[in-house]
Structure 1
Amino acid sequence: MLKIQDQVTTSCTDCNGKLKLFSAFQMMQDCSELWLDTATEYRDFLRAHGLAQLIASRQVEVVRVPNYKEKLTIQTGVYGCEPLFGFRNTFIYDEAGNPCYKTWSLGVFCDLKTGRMKKLPQEVIDAYTYEPKLEMHYKDRRIVVPNAEVKTFEPVVVSRNDIDYNQHLNNAHYVRIASEYLPEDFNVKGVRVEYKVPVKLGEEIVPQVLTEGNFIYVKLLKKELPCAILEFEQG
């Protein structure tokens, strides 16, 4: 398990002085990445074999959105692993120790050269010490988009500032892009993101948006195929 301290600063807040959803995703992602340096044997095995664990899905429960200057603790830990998949909780807590965001995510083990999924040896899986699975409402990692009226928007071009060290669109930026199509008064209670295929510098993403009940779905298309599907639930 890894815990890091953070604070809601000016660059992380929206016009109402609340932590942006995009910034919360960045905090969770950063904590998960820093965790890798605490699991040195696991990290070294991946590097020695040219492997990486890439996020395939994330579910977020929004309990309370923190305010400007609030101090936060981000905590992450792996609670399970299979040959192709790893499972992780990442929670964000306020100063009183109450959860603001509860999340779980699924990572896929991939060969960095081929981009194909690659199984971990069972001895590597058995050697790791796992954390308890934290309490939250776990939904399926796959998002079923309802059959409803779709609105298509102008393409978004991926810029240099969207790219991370894996040379593709950073995971949190999918949320940033999709959030632009939510109504201003949409109070986000929950989010699910299913990542499909990486998007690289200069490529275009075509957003498609549809609504059903308290849910808004955003499909981000790359060459007419989904690169990510996002589900936003209104509270």
Structure 2
Amino acid sequence: MYEIKERVRYSEVRENGKMGLLGIVNLLQDCSTFHSHDVGMSIERVLELKRAWLLSAWDIQVFAFPALYEEITVGTSPHLFRGIFAYRNFWIKNKDGEYLVKADSEWFCIDTEKGRPQKITEELVEPFGKPQDVLHLPPLQRKITFPEGWQAGQDFPVPREYLDTNHHMNNARYIALSEELLFQSSGRPAFSFSEENKKESMEPFGIRAEYLKAYTLGDSIFPRIAIEEDRKVVAFYNQNKELCCHVEIRKIPKM
């Protein structure tokens, strides 16, 4: 298990004074990057071993948005290694220890020389210690179905600022774009499921993302948008009509 203390910065909040989905997902990704670095398995070290980790799926639960000045704890814990896949829990807690965000994620290991998936070796994961299932979340469901009724969004090229160190569009950007595209389509926040509630007050909601093919510089983004009663889905295609990612924002049933 690994945790870092943070404070919500002005540069991370939106016009309502709270962090958006881009900021939340960036915090989670940064936490795992720091964890890997601090145990001696930084991005650079893994590349020396001719390996890389690529994200294939997110399952995120958002209970509240971190607010400007708020003191938070961001944490992560690998909880399962199996074949080519690794699974990581993530969380964000407030200063009272209450969960603002819980998440699970699926990653896979690739051989950077051969460009194909590679079984995880002990050398890659031993520095992280024994896997810990901190959150005890249900098994991650990777496959996202796309509704038949959808509308096409405006296509646009991948900006250079969207790229990460793998020269791919950063995974957090797909989720942030989905939030914006859904707002543009409906005039309501992506996480709002009530016709009466068009403001940014919220009930807990979930986000799932399924990554299939990475955008790179020179690609164009062709989004498709679908809105149902309890979920909203954005599909991202490239100029070759290849599906790159599905993002689903869904209502969490009340217990």
Asked if these proteins are the same fold (TM beyond 0.5), I'd say yes
2:191 alignment counterpart: 187
Assess if the C-alpha contact under 8 Å between 2:85 and 2:107 holds in 1: yes
Matched, 1:37 2:47: no
Assess if the C-alpha contact under 8 Å between 1:169 and 1:199 holds in 2: yes
Which consecutive aligned stretches of 4+ in structure 1 deviate over 3 angstroms post-superposition?
A: 41-48, 121-128
Against the structure 1 CA distance between its residues 48 and 146, is the aligned structure 2 distance closer, same or farther, given a 3 Å change threshold? closer
Against the structure 1 CA distance between its residues 134 and 159, is the aligned structure 2 distance closer, same or farther, given a 3 Å change threshold? same
Matched, 1:210 2:226: yes
CA distance in 2, matches of 1:123, 1:16: 45
1:149 alignment counterpart: 149
Look up the equivalent residue of 1:190 and give its one-letter code.
Answer: G
CA distance in 2, matches of 1:178, 1:151: 13
Look up the equivalent residue of 1:94 and give its one-letter code.
Answer: N
CA drift of 1:48 comes to: 3.8
1:182 partner SS: helix
CA drift of 1:137 comes to: 4.2
1:228 pairs, out of 222, 230, 245, with 245
CA drift of 1:141 comes to: 3.2
1:176 partner SS: helix
Assess if the C-alpha contact under 8 Å between 1:220 and 1:227 holds in 2: yes
Matched, 1:198 2:202: no
CA drift of 1:140 comes to: 3.8
CA drift of 1:122 comes to: 5.6
1:165 partner SS: coil
The worse-fitting range, judged by mean Cα deviation, of 68-77 and 186-195 is: 186-195
CA distance in 1, matches of 2:249, 2:147: 16
The worse-fitting range, judged by mean Cα deviation, of 212-221 and 106-115 is: 106-115
CA distance in 2, matches of 1:176, 1:170: 10
Mapping of residues 1-150 of structure 1, within 5 Å? 1-40=1-40, 46-121=46-121, 129-135=129-135, 137-138=137-138, 140-150=140-150
Assess if the C-alpha contact under 8 Å between 2:234 and 2:246 holds in 1: yes
The worse-fitting range, judged by mean Cα deviation, of 121-130 and 19-28 is: 121-130
Assess if the C-alpha contact under 8 Å between 1:83 and 1:125 holds in 2: no
Assess if the C-alpha contact under 8 Å between 1:141 and 1:194 holds in 2: no
Assess if the C-alpha contact under 8 Å between 2:83 and 2:119 holds in 1: yes
1:162 alignment counterpart: 162
Assess if the C-alpha contact under 8 Å between 2:104 and 2:140 holds in 1: no
Assess if the C-alpha contact under 8 Å between 2:180 and 2:190 holds in 1: no
**Taking every aligned residue pair, what percent have the same amino acid on both sides?**
23
Name structure 1 gaps, 5 residues minimum: none
Look up the equivalent residue of 2:160 and give its one-letter code.
Answer: R
Against the structure 1 CA distance between its residues 186 and 205, is the aligned structure 2 distance closer, same or farther, given a 3 Å change threshold? closer
Which string of whole-angstrom CA distances, capped at 9 and with x for unpartnered residues, describes residues 102-151 of structure 1? 01111100122333101123676678523421335435432332433110
Name structure 2 gaps, 5 residues minimum: 193-204
1:177 partner SS: helix
1:179 partner SS: helix
User: Root-mean-square deviation (CA), in Å?
Assistant: 2.2
Assess if the C-alpha contact under 8 Å between 2:182 and 2:225 holds in 1: no
CA distance in 2, matches of 1:179, 1:139: 25
Look up the equivalent residue of 1:138 and give its one-letter code.
Answer: P
Assess if the C-alpha contact under 8 Å between 2:57 and 2:106 holds in 1: yes
CA distance in 1, matches of 2:123, 2:163: 34
2:101 partner SS: strand
The worse-fitting range, judged by mean Cα deviation, of 178-187 and 224-233 is: 178-187
Look up the equivalent residue of 1:231 and give its one-letter code.
Answer: E
